[in-house]
Structure 1
């Protein structure tokens, strides 16, 4: 996939020399997610800090690194008995930690949307996909059924689904994996959110469909001035698609840099990940083994 240039700031957000930097959409400072267990407290996320503007931020890490839990904690969707704490967790200056459940329901979907892993399986199997997308729109607006259907058909077309009228009446089991992915993206974006959290939205797709879905997401981010947190285990994919990259290991951010500077990574874990990536021009018969150092994930002192 060719390099994708950073999203231009939307109208009204100045980025010229001497201009005040725009307020970040999301600010996360010293985020922690813990789970009480029989043997003590397990820290799934430990002291993670970052900001997200109207850009594409990639979070990369192996399974169990805490990247998905970080995404869920932003909207306080961590399953019980998990506990979320932070020095600051705010969306457009509003504190998400102290927000009431009623206020969070208003923010979820309408202002911040999240596409879960294997999103097709999040669809209701006994409702047509069109009705489900329209319902998501009506929950966050005062639109009637006719207006909701019109907006749904527009959104299906925006995610490059052919013949939206036909797809409106299909059930989830009647659509392919790639189309199911696009349908979920349409459902999450129909309220026109400011921020999209995408948790491995292309992991179950073949490479061709994966590139098509990423092209759709990139186009929607650019045209809407939307921010995105893109969570993945695929370092190559994130490096080519996102503007900035966070590398997570054992619940911590071990490296943060612009995607274009990832080849100059300093942390040994990031360098190990880069060295283990196969290349078409690589004549090695074996990929290097990533040797882990316990100091990368030192316990809090």
Structure 2
């Protein structure tokens, strides 16, 4: 891939415990261009850890190591904490899974949007307010001026997720990491949120890392898919070629997807194979 927005080589995340070192991410590599990259896998496979590690949000006793993590050629691991504060939310943003735990319950929506923008740009409060209202309108929130005065507990789950998207996109990042942004939403709201993100990626030329458990959803929404198991990328492919998957773990995930037209008498049990843990990581590069 020429001139990727993000280049990750041999990323490792580990935690020192009383019983030894726990490896959460075991040497994964991938690049991200102006595209939608889906990362899928079961809980504990290292998906969210990967997103947090890119932003250097892993706290002690966690340890992040890599041959390199570069954003437009800038070494993230070598950047100072002050520089990372500029990059987080400025050039790369992350949407957390549940807006109820990401929005400050004692601040209005408007206060939080304005503060997030002023943290990266020196603008008058009135101008920040107008940009925040325009962004709420862009993510399909009705009556954005009224919503600016609401508190997080006064909005629905779907609206809260759209507010989080608006907050993360206000400073104009080039990379958006979405950590299961639709898992707590009903199907109709899921489609609305996905459509909003799809249009923003296309219109702004952004790169999107979409983290999810839902293999079907990722296959329909993303351009490429990386499948994670036990902290490693075991398979990667174009989303349109997911049906050609060959790794037994990916096949097991596909076979576990319910089929309403041809219901199975019982779901297939995915047997854990120790050999998978020892397999070399697949490099998710196009």
Indicate the TM-score class for this superposition, using the shorter chain for normalisation: over 0.9
Superposed CA deviations along residues 174-212 of structure 1, whole A, max 9, x for unmatched, are 000000000000000000100000111111111111111
Shift of 1:101: 0.3
**2:23 counterpart SS class:** strand
Shift of 1:280: 2.2
Summarize the alignment of residues 104-115 of structure 1 with structure 2, pairs less than 5 Å apart: 104-115=84-95
Which residue in 1 is equivalent to 2:163? 183
Which residue in 2 is equivalent to 1:81? 61
**1:284 counterpart SS class:** coil
Superposed CA deviations along residues 61-89 of structure 1, whole A, max 9, x for unmatched, are 10000110001000100122100000111
* RMSD over aligned Cα atoms: 1.1
1:245 paired to 2:225: yes
Which residue in 2 is equivalent to 1:136? 116
44, 49, 62: which is aligned to 2:29?
49
Contact residue 126 and residue 171 of structure 1 kept, 8 A: yes
Which residue in 1 is equivalent to 2:216? 236
1:273 paired to 2:261: no
**1:295 counterpart SS class:** helix
175, 182, 188: which is aligned to 1:195?
175
1:169 paired to 2:152: no
Distance in 2 of aligned mates of 1:72 and 1:126: 25
Aligned residues: 280
Shift of 1:299: 8.4
Structure 1 unaligned spans of 5+: 1-20
**1:147 counterpart SS class:** helix
Contact residue 45 and residue 230 of structure 2 kept, 8 A: yes
185, 189, 199: which is aligned to 1:219?
199
Summarize the alignment of residues 280-295 of structure 1 with structure 2, pairs less than 5 Å apart: 280-295=260-275
254, 261, 273: which is aligned to 2:234?
254
1:37 paired to 2:14: no
Distance in 2 of aligned mates of 1:95 and 1:283: 49
Shift of 1:117: 1.4
38, 47, 50: which is aligned to 1:67?
47
Contact residue 120 and residue 184 of structure 1 kept, 8 A: no
Distance in 2 of aligned mates of 1:117 and 1:296: 28
Structure 2 unaligned spans of 5+: 281-286
Distance in 2 of aligned mates of 1:214 and 1:220: 10
